[in-house]
Every structure is written in C-alpha cells, then in structure tokens.
Structure 1
Amino acid sequence: MTKTFIPIPLRASYTLRNANLPACLVKMPEAMLFAPSQEIVKADILIDEGRIAAISPAGTAAPESGPDVDGALLMPGMIDCHAHLDKAHIAPRAPNTNGDFAGAALANNEDRSVRWTAADVRRRMEFGLLSASAHGVVAIRTNLDCHDRQASITLPVFCDLREEWSGRLELQANALLPLQAFLADGAVELVNRVAELEGSIGSVLKAKSSSGSRSVENAREALTRLFRLAAERGLDVDLHVDETDDRDSRMLAEVANIAVQEKFQGTVTCSHCCSLALQPQGVVDRTLDALSAAGISIVCLPTVNMYLQSRAIGRTPTWRGVTLIHEMKARGLRVAVAGDNCRDVFHAYGDHDMLDTFSQAVKILHLDHPFGDWIKTATAAPAEIMRMDGSFGVLAVGRKANLILTRARNYSELHSRPQSDRIVLRNGKPIDTTLPDYRLLDDLMRPLSRNEL
C-alpha cells in the first residue's frame, strides 16, 4: 500500500475532519455549510461502509472520529468523457514524424491495420486503465475505432475489460466509423452491436459547409442517417467536430440543425470544435444559437488541441487550438474537458490523469480569476454527459466514497504542483496509487518493418 500523507483509518466508519471541498460540488442545503459566493468550503465528511454518510460543518465531528486533514482539498473522483484507450501508448512504435494531424492519421492507420490484435489492444487499454485508476479517475468514455474488421477485434476486448473493471472504474464505449460508412448497409450491424453494449455512436466531421458542395450534401445525408440509426435504438451521439484550423469548416452548426430537424431525444456531444474560435463573430453567434436550441454538450480537449493545432515544422504556433468554452458556458451549454489521446500518434504525451488535464485546462483556457465552478468540467458535467450523474461527479450523502484527497488546500496550490502524493479512495478505502511501469509494454513497441507496412 502506498504511504499516504494522512493516515486513513481502515475501519468501516470514520470521519475526515476539517477538509476543504469545492463548494459547487457539494449537494446539500447551502445554508448548512456556506454562502453561495464561496469557492471552497470547510466540512467534516463521515464515511461509513464505503459511502458518504454525512457532510457537516467543519468542527462538528468529535476528534476521535477520524483524522484532521488540515484543510486538504477533497474532490469526487474525476471523469474522462473523451478518451482513446484503443490508440493509447503506440507513439514509441508508430512515430508521427511531423507531429501534425495528417501525419497522425497516416501513422495510426498503418499501425491499426497491422498491429491491433486483441492481445495488443487489451494490454494497451489495460495499461491505461491502471494509470487512470491510480490517478483517481472513476469513469471513462472511450472512443473505439470500428473501421472495417477492427470492431470485431476491439469490441469484445472492451466488453471483457468493462466487466473486469466494474466497481473500480466504469467504462463506456463510443464506436467511431467514417461518416460515409453510415450510408452503407454494414453500419446497421455495427450500430446494433453498440446498442447491445449500451454505448454511443460517433464519427469525425470536417467540411466547408458554407460552400453548399455535393460533398457537404453527402455529409448531411450520412449524418442524418447516423442520427436516425441512433434514435431507433435509443443511443446517444458523440461526435468529433471541426478539429481543424480551417475556418471554413462549419459542421458544428450542421450537427445542431440536424439534431433539431430529427427531433433527436438522446444526448448529443460534440468534441474539439476548434475552428469555431477562428470564425467571424456573426458565424459564431449563429452557431451558438443553434447549439443552444439543440441542447448540444461540448467537450474541449485542451492538451491535444493545443498540441496538434497550428503545428508546422519550423514555425511557432500562433493560437491555442481550443474552442470557445467561455462563450458556450455563458449560453447555458454543458461544457466539459477531457484527456483525449494519450502517448499515441495524435498526442505523444499524457498519463490518463484527469486532475492533470483539468489543471492544464485552467491555464490553457483561463478557467480562473475567478475559479468559480469550472471544476465541474472534469466532474459533474462529464457525469451528466455520460448519464452517470446519479453515481459520480459530486459530493453527496449516500454516494460511494470514491474520492481524491490532495495535500493542496485551495485551487492555487492544486494547480501549482502535480499532486503526485494524492490519496485515492475507492469505497472509502485508500488504493495503491503506484503507476504501471512503461517497461510492461516494451515487447509491444517494436517498430514495424518495411514488409509489414
């Protein structure tokens, strides 16, 4: 067991006294704890039989009930609503020589076509789950490439891992197909399989929708069929949209308009949405109006978008690549941040650590001055997107005590150090937070030979 900075009692019932909590994540009458303007509140947290049994003003609990954590910041376990576990950790063996999106797509396709066996995918995905769990992530929605034969390989692996990890880390699948594949008969079989998994379906959308070209009309037709297939099976839709610095790529509004046209009742999530930040204000306003009318949820991937967008060899990037998250939140849209790619061809770094992702998001997206309730973007908001808000994302009596306790006492301290000594509680008990060694994947990292390409 990892040595922790606070001795957590091993008995079934104990109190974490004098903890600091993000006020926006505490679900109880405000008058009991704090004024609505507070960002951090002090409380005693009673944990009994693995659940939060009471949240009381600090100083309420008797000293013998449990340790005084001296203002340590206590948060619910974090949620990654947009990951790519099937791609993760291939960067050492499938280098993206230019570091850009085109190079990433080419390297990923080559690696997938040769290397993504069930054994390979399983080991890399499980490495990611071990890392995420040790960091305090409690739920992940992972995109899964379902091109051609890959669905028959990856989906069974996902099912096995979801069952094995149930109770430790909850998994959802979002099946990705090329958009035009939804016009083919084979899409029905895949969507039926996804329905059996209770997953969601998605695709990657980029287009110059202002031109009215035939290719855009085909995209609208394919996207409409995607929505109809999802609606017939009660599935949610989760799309990669406008992940580009091409300001003429305007598929985000198309998604919203089709969702309204089809009277779609499920949750629609659009991730990336990079090009919106480069478009004229009139286009931005009309797009935000359409998103509001459709009730679209937005996921920003700050680390990956900053890594890929505006990238060119020998040139300093001139923009951060991220979408208009402040303006979207101001319109009442649900917004979240997520980890996206990890040590793969689209993003060479990362460790499946949503606390780190949120901390980077604060700096990249200016989610501070004030910090307000932005922490919801890594907790409550993704829980709602994944329809897990009855179990995760907030601090509430009756919820499982799946928590992160940091030595940091406030947001300034939280975002200034990596919190590598954090305590992760599962059902009220501290888990081993030792991270898996990269050497466990060494035998998978052999570069492809020319004959294998």
Structure 2
Amino acid sequence: MSYDLLIRRVRLHRRQQPVDIAVKDGLFVKIAADLPSAEATRVVDADGRLVVPPFIDAHVHLDAVLTVGQPRYNSSGTLLEGIQIWSERKPDLTHEDVKRRALEEIRWEVAQGTLHIRSHVDVCDPNLTALRALLEVREEVRDICDLQLVAFPQDGILSFPGGRELMRKALELGCDLVGGIPHYEWTRDMGVEDVHYAFALAKEFNRDIDCHCDETDDPQSRFTEVMAADTIEQSWQGRVTASHCTAMHSYDNAYAFKLLRLLARAQVNVIANPFDNVVLQGRFDTYPKRRGITRVKELLASGVNVALGHDSIMDPWFPLGRGDMLAAAQLALFLCHMSGHEEIDAVLDLITTNAARALRIQDRYGIEEGKPADFLILDAPSAFEALRLLPARLYVFKGGREIARTTPGRSVVRRAGEKEGQEVTFHV
C-alpha cells in the first residue's frame, strides 16, 4: 500500500517503543515499527517526539472572548462583577463583532493543537445575536476545528424574562446542547426547576446537557446532585455534563463522598476550568484562601469522567489567556496535587481522551487504525516533558492534512570571549 503521509519514529502516550504512523485518504491506516518510507508521498520524522490526538477545549465562551476592558475592567475579580460587566457589553454585540473575535480565538486554539471546542453561548438576548453569529462560525471552521454550541442562559432560565422561550428558540436554531445555570437563579427552588427544564428540553430535542453548576464557594449550593438524580431518572447516562462544580471544593467530606458515588453511578461528566476557577473563587476569603477548583483527583478515583476547559480568554471574568489547553492542564496538575508520575500521565487525558468522552466523539477520536488522522506532534518526548515544558506544537494535522505548524523559539548563551558560532544554542 502507498501512503499519503508517513510519520516516522513516533512516541505515543503510555507506549514505550517508537512506531511509525501511516495515513491514507485522511485516515490512520497503519501503526507499526519500521514502515517503508519509499511508499509514502510525504515523510515527517518525529525523531522520538510525542504524538497525541488533538487537544479538546471542553468549555469556553467564544461569544465573550477578547472583550476584556469593554466597557470596563473587573476590579473585584469576582464572578458576579464579571456577569455584570458582560450584561453591559451585550447590548453592543453585533454579528460581525462576535464572528471576528471568535474566529481569531479559534485560530489561536488550532495553532496550539485544539481541534475540538465546546462553546457555551449566552442566549439571554432577545435577538440571539451571538448565537446566530456562532452558528455561522461553526460551519466556517469545519475544515480546521469541530465546534459544539451550548445554549447557555447566563442570567438564568427562570430569572430572565422569556428565558424558557429563548432556550427553546436556541435549540430550534441549531444549538447542539442544552445548558443551564441553577446556582444563579434567584432561589433554590428556581435552581432546581432550572435543571428540570434543561432535562425536559434535552429529552424533547434529543440533545446532550452541559450545565454550569455550583460555580460558587457556597457549600450549600448543591445542584450537582439534582443533575445526577435527573440523569438517572431520565436515563440520560453519559449524555450529561456538570461544568465547574467549584462548590465541591467547599463541601464537607461526608457529603462529598456521597456525591462522588452518585455522579459515578449517573455517569455524569465533570468539567473543571482551572484558569477561571482559581481566579474567581475564594474572593470572599481572608486566609486561608480556597483554591476553588473542583475535586478533580477524587472524582477520577471514584470513576467519574473529568475533563478541562479554558473557559474565559481575555474577557470580563479572566483578563489573560491565549487558548492553550496544555497550559490549562499544567495548572490543573498544580492545583489538584496531581504531581505523581502516573498522575501526570492522567493529566494529559483531561484534555484528550477524557474530554473526547465528555463530548461523545470517541468513535472518531484517537490514534487508532481506521480513525480520522487528527493528531499533533509535540516538541517533547513524553507527557511528563510536555506538561513540564508546554512545548511548541510542531505540527497539527486534521484528516491527514497539515493545518498548522509552529517553529519553536531558541535561546543563545554566549560566555565572555566567545564569538558567534561558538556559543551554546538551545530551546527551553
């Protein structure tokens, strides 16, 4: 067989010996050692570098990216002030504005190896301006990125006038998933109804669910259990995601033990967002200050599928960021005390295989013969080194086609008296 592309001397995650990877007609067709180069149209020598399936950003807000400082900055750093600033910015949204910013940020993510994105879109807008723009973006970027859109009621399904009708309209227009925000509703009873309504819509439209849930330091915020119970009662196992769940960081251990078991039984995915979680939570603490991120390590140990999102990128909630999911994974490693050698390997799963399971794309994701040839070549030999160095994504391939390439920066160290050409050149 002749190949369109052959990647030589590849290191795969959790596989000791190097292999070659052959691609034809956009699919992986052979993964084995010492494949003949003469049969390939193009050959790339990975030289022992790590090849992984594409990164996945399982939670981001493309409608809000790159709006930091508009109309003002978040001086308190709190979630609530961020929501208020966003409500001030929303009236100025235009179709072109949303598309321009979203396309720019998607290019950032693709260049850094993220080829699957799940974006929440604020639908608390009678005109659904952002949603209509992102529906167009979803189609325009299909050749470089797969985009899922979640109907997200930023101001509440019940607490926002016409919230129920706007959620329904968003799904009719083509949103992929049903969202929710029960902890932001005015009362606990309204929060419970927020979850119930999300499930009712999901059943009616046959959609998956991804709700912002318990994104607070309040240990009495307990809507994740409602989501898990509804998942079991509605037989929606594997199709439900609870995002953030930062209140879990503040629950007492007895309740957390019960909740972890319930989430595992319900097969509810949990998505943590390290950048926003650590910046927004703990703002009302003096000392000691809570880290805020959910119990990633304990959830994994309990059999719950956990993935990561970038969440905010230069917006009212998080003023920094550049869409690097490997950086998000590194931060999760720090915050969640996942520095054991095997734990570090598991951290890479949070932005690859675990996230694919949350997005329910396992059938077309992963480096396996017969699957689409979507993959990255990292400038590092292992997951350990990738999470230590955050190296360049040298090549990004989708369907066997190179869609991005990065040349890593190099440093030069010259001692006294050394001339050009005698110095030490390396990249960190």
Q: TM-score, normalised by structure 1?
A: 0.81
Partner residue, 1:373: 346
Retained in 1: the 8 A contact 2:120–2:150? yes
Mapped to 2, the partners of 1:117 and 1:316 lie a distance apart of: 43
Q: Give the length in aligned residue pairs.
A: 399
- 1:107-118 to structure 2, matched below 5 A, reads 107-113=85-91, 115-118=92-95
Partner of 1:334: 305
Output the CA distance in 1 between the equivalents of 2:170 and 2:324: 30
Which residue does 1:390 correspond to in 2? 363
Partner of 2:55: 78
Q: Which has the higher contact order (CA 8 A, sep 6+)?
A: 1
CA–CA distance in 2 between the matches of 1:262 and 1:51? Answer: 37
Please point out which of 65, 69, 72 is paired with 1:88: 65
Q: Distance in 2 between matches of 1:350 and 1:173?
A: 21
Shift of 1:387: 2.1
1:352 counterpart residue number:
323
| Cα deviation, residue 226, structure 1 | 2.1
Identical amino acids, percent of aligned pairs: 25
Distance 2:322 2:270 in 1: 23
For 2:399, which of 407, 427, 430 is the aligned residue? Answer: 427
CA distance in 2, matches of 1:265, 1:244: 25
**What is the match of residue 294 of structure 1?**
266
> What per-residue deviation string (whole Å, max 9, x for no partner) do you get for residues 388-417 of structure 1?
22222x111122222110120123321232
Q: CA deviation digits over 1:252-275, x for unaligned, max 9?
A: 112212333344467110011111
- In structure 1, distance between residues paired with 2:83 and 2:385: 38
In structure 2, relative to structure 1, the CA distance for the partners of 1:82 and 1:67 (3 Å cut) is: closer
Contact 2:237–2:268 (CA under 8 A) maintained in structure 1: no
Contact kept? 2:10, 2:48, Cα under 8 Å = yes
CA distance in 2, matches of 1:375, 1:418: 12
Q: How much does 1:162 deviate?
A: 1.1
Q: Deviations over 1:295-337 (max 9, x none)?
A: 2111011121011111369x67723211111211122111111
Task: State which of 95, 104, 111 in structure 1 corresponds to 2:82.
Answer: 104
In 2: Cα distance, 1:47 partner to 1:311 partner: 50
CA distance in 2, matches of 1:422, 1:254: 44
Quickly say closer, same or farther: Cα 1:218–1:418, change in 2 above 3 A. Answer: closer
Asked if 2 retains the 8 angstrom alpha-carbon contact of 1:231 and 1:265, the reply is no
* Aligned residue among 11, 14, 20 for 1:20: 11
Conserved? CA contact 2:157–2:167, under 8 Å: no
In structure 1, the partner of 2:219 is: 247
Q: Following TM superposition, by how much is the alpha carbon of 1:430 offset from its aligned partner in structure 2, in angstroms?
A: 2.8
Aligned letter for 1:170?
A: D
**Residue 123 in structure 1 maps to residue 123 in structure 2:** no
Partner Cα separation in structure 1 for residue 173 and residue 19 of structure 2: 43
Q: Is the 8 A contact 2:111 2:393 kept in 1?
A: no
- Over the aligned positions, Cα root-mean-square deviation in angstroms equals 2.6
CA distance in 1, matches of 2:17, 2:173: 43
One-letter amino acid matched to 2:282: S
Q: 1:220-254 CA deviation, whole Å, 9 max, x = no partner? A: 23321221121111111111111111122122112
Residue pairs, 1:396-415, within 5 angstroms: 396-415=368-387
Q: Which amino acid aligns with 2:167?
A: L
AA of the residue aligned to 1:389: Q
1-structure distance, mates of 2:288, 2:82 = 18
Among 110, 117, 133, the residue aligned to 1:140: 117
Question: Which residue is 1:283 aligned to?
Answer: 255
What are the superposed Cα offsets for residues 50-79 of structure 1, whole Å, 9 maximum, x if unpaired? 32111113xx22365634422101111111
Q: Is the 1:182–1:226 Cα contact (8 Å) retained in structure 2?
A: no
Q: Name the amino acid aligned to 1:322.
A: I
Cα distance in 1 between the residues matched to 2:406 and 2:195? 43
Distance verdict in 2 for CA 1:70–1:361, change over 3 Å: same
Q: Secondary structure at the match of 1:422?
A: strand
Kept in 1: contact 2:329–2:347 (CA 8 A): no
Taking structure 1 as reference, are residues 183 and 130 closer, same or farther at Cα in structure 2, changes over 3 Å only?
A: closer
